[in-house]
Amino acid sequence: MTVRINPSILSADFVNLHDDIETIASADLVHVDVMDNHFVPNLTFGPQMVGRIQDVSPIPLDVHLMIDDPDRWAPGYAELGAYSVTFHAEAAADAVGLARRLRQIGSRAGIALKPGTPVEPYLDLLAEFDQVLVMTVEPGFGGQSFMPETMPKLRLLREAVVRTGLDVWLQVDGGITESTIAFAAESGADTFVAGSSVFSSPDRAAQIDALRSAALAHTH
């Protein structure tokens, strides 16, 4: 199975973002957390900043929208050229319609679930999405602890992906370290977002390698 490591620039130095993005060039995608201070109690940046990141990044963008009204705003991120655009199930009025628009524009479409959001309603809709993001912390901040109680959702998703043969990436985000990544990989994740564990490391390329090896050792 292919494993992807997506460092989250929420833990990067926003004043030296370009340099920090260069330090993670060996990763698969750069994870870009957009927060609006309404859907989550934190604020990051919007399309203007994401457009500049898109201009300079050596690797494709994995945009995670923690915003209200993604039906209105998410297509704009796809139009900027983001490789994937993931919106929250709890915020979308028409998740399937929005995913179809994102794909039509040319991005991969992702749906994200907060820790308390059940996965069952989405299991029969997997064909509509390119990735499902299982949040392993409450969205809003980096540096929180991984919530193992979210793992049953991944197991159900992996079973559904195997059963249907669909190429849907299963992503985890929050508290991913060299130890928690093993549990997430065993539970069925193949795409791992890591913020503080990458950016707090003095050697980010080595940390990306270490995460990748730990995940590979625990994938089925």
Ligand X SMILES: O=C(CO)[C@@H](O)[C@H](O)COP(=O)(O)O
Give catalytic residues, as residue numbers. 33, 173
Binding ligand X (rule: CB under 6 A), the pick from 12, 132, 193, 211 is 193
Alpha carbons 167 and 189: distance in angstroms, whole number: 13
Cβ at position 31, least distance to Fe ion in Å: 6
- Determine, following the binding rule CB under 6 A, whether residue 130 of this chain makes contact with ligand X: no
Three-state SS at 39? coil
Segment near Fe ion (CB under 5 A); pick from 34-42, 51-59, 62-70, 93-101: 62-70
User: CA neighbours within 13 Å on the CB side: how many for 54?
Assistant: 19
Residue 181 burial class via C-beta count within 10 angstroms: exposed 0-12, middle 13-18, buried 19 and up: buried
d(CA 33, CA 150): 20
Q: Cβ of residue 156: shortest distance to ligand X, in angstroms?
A: 21
How many residues form the binding site for Fe ion (CB under 5 A)? 3
142 binds, among ligand X, Fe ion, none (CB under 5 to 8 A by kind): ligand X
Two tokens, residue 4:
């992807």
Q: How many CB atoms lie within 10 A of CB 165?
A: 6
Count of residues that bind ligand X according to CB under 6 A? 23
Interaction partner, residue 110 (Fe ion, ligand X, none; CB < 5-8 Å by kind): none
Residue 62 found at the interface with Fe ion (CB under 5 A):
no
Q: Which two tokens stand for residue 195?
A: 């913020």
Query: Whole-angstrom Cα distance, residue 123 to residue 145?
Result: 26
Q: Which two tokens stand for residue 129?
A: 């999405």
- Residue 145, annotated ligand binder? no
The distance between the two most distant Cα atoms of the chain, rounded to a whole number of Å, is: 46
Please list every residue from 159 through 178 that binds Fe ion, using CB under 5 A. 173
Q: Confirm or reject binding of residue 110 to ligand X (CB under 6 A).
A: no
* Binding-site residues for substrate: 8, 64, 140-143, 173-175, 195-196
Please report, as ranges, the residues that interact with ligand X according to CB under 6 A: 8, 10-11, 31, 33, 64, 66, 137, 139-144, 173-176, 193-197
